[in-house]
Amino acid sequence: MKVLGVVLVVLGLIGLIYGGVNWTRKKTVLDAGPVEITTDKHERLPISPIAGTVMLVAGVVLMVRPGR
């Protein structure tokens, strides 16, 4: 449960500080023999501040809660 708490805290902080997760994926547009044309596709997974706060609080509760 403590590992899940740490993961939730990290995701909550990412959501609050950065507003989500961004990444870039290369996509091949044309592949004709020796000629290859690619493009970069920027994608984003937004995390709202409310969801970030909830994940952060839930993670702290899971980390602080005593084990069984």
Over the stretch 49-68, which tens digit does the pLDDT of each residue have? 888 899 999 999 998 988 66
- Percentage of the residues of the chain whose pLDDT score is greater than 90: 46
Q: Is 41 helix (H, G, I), strand (E, B) or coil?
A: strand
DSSP helix, strand, coil percent of the chain (3-state; round to 5): 45, 35, 15
User: Does an H or E element contain 4, and which?
Assistant: helix 2-17
Separation between Cα atoms, residue 52 and residue 17, nearest integer Å:
9
- Asked if residue 45 has pLDDT above 90, the reply is no
CA distance 46 to 56: 16
**How many CB atoms sit inside 10 A of residue 52's CB?**
20
